[in-house]
Amino acid sequence: MTDQHLHRPDAQDFLRRARARLPGEPPVLDAAMGRPAAVLMPLIPVAGMLHFLFTVRPATMPSHAGEICFPGGRLKAGEDALAAALREAEEEVGISPEQVQPLGFGAPRKTASGHVIAPLLGLVEAHCCIRPCAREVAEVFTAPLSHFLDAANFVRERRRAGGQWREYWVISWQGRCIWGATAAMLHDLMERLA
């Protein structure tokens, strides 16, 4: 990729640190840890800057309806986290595996819903055509990497979920609220690459 976004000092530094500090091999996700799942944390160039791409789940989904997340889902039999993250991104938003340059894996994240999620950070080609699957994705949007590099944008809040009070990381972006496992994965990634 030779687009201008890769030549910005902040983008170059972030990508260099990601390649140096994140493991390239997918983590082993044991069913004893939870139901194995993987997500792609897609970095995509928008207007000359790197942005994260997010999906919004449809209100009709039986679980996590309306939540903001990364494309992803459960591992299929015989699949590792790399294959699952790339397959799910293609199914949900039309990003083909050939359009993703894997940068490395963040730490697996256990969720309140019983999943253990392996997040794959990946650089997506600039001219990728995003085609959301209407059954799984109500909306797609992006937010600049620079927003997440600023620790002041991560706020700790208490919310009631599943009948219990829990603390979550929350990130606001243009009236949207990114929270739960998605915000936690972003927080973990930014701390690791700080």
Show the domains of the chain with their CATH numbers.
4-148 (3.90.79.10)
List Cβ neighbours of 181 (8 Å cut-off, separation of 6 or more). Answer: 69, 109, 111, 115, 117
User: Does residue 3 carry a pLDDT above 70?
Assistant: no
* DSSP, res 152: G
Provide the pLDDT for residue 51.
96
Say how many residues make up the chain: 194
Tens digit of pLDDT for each residue in 82-110?
Answer: 999 999 999 999 999 999 999 999 999 99
- pLDDT above 70: percentage of residues in the chain: 91
Residue with tokens 């139901």: 35
Q: Which of the pair, 176 or 48, is modelled with greater confidence? A: 176
Provide the pLDDT for residue 6.
43
Q: Which of the pair, 6 or 55, is modelled with greater confidence? A: 55
Tens digit of pLDDT for each residue in 36-46?
Answer: 999 999 999 99
As given in the structure block, the two tokens for residue 188 are: 């973990």
As given in the structure block, the two tokens for residue 140 are: 């797609």
Provide the pLDDT for residue 31.
82
- Is 0.85 surpassed by the pTM of this model? yes
Residue with tokens 């160039």: 45
DSSP H or E segment with residue 102: strand 100-105
Mean pLDDT (whole number) for 141-166: 90
Cβ count within 10 A of residue 171: 20
Cβ-contact 132, 92 below 8 angstroms: yes
Mean pLDDT (whole number) for 66-94: 95
Long-range CB pairs of 176-179 (<8 Å, 24+ gap) are 176/68, 176/141, 176/143, 177/68, 178/54, 178/68, 178/143, 179/68
Provide DSSP, 39-63: EEEEEEEETTEEEEEEEE--TT-SS
Strand ranges across the sheet with 176-179: 155-161, 164-173, 176-179
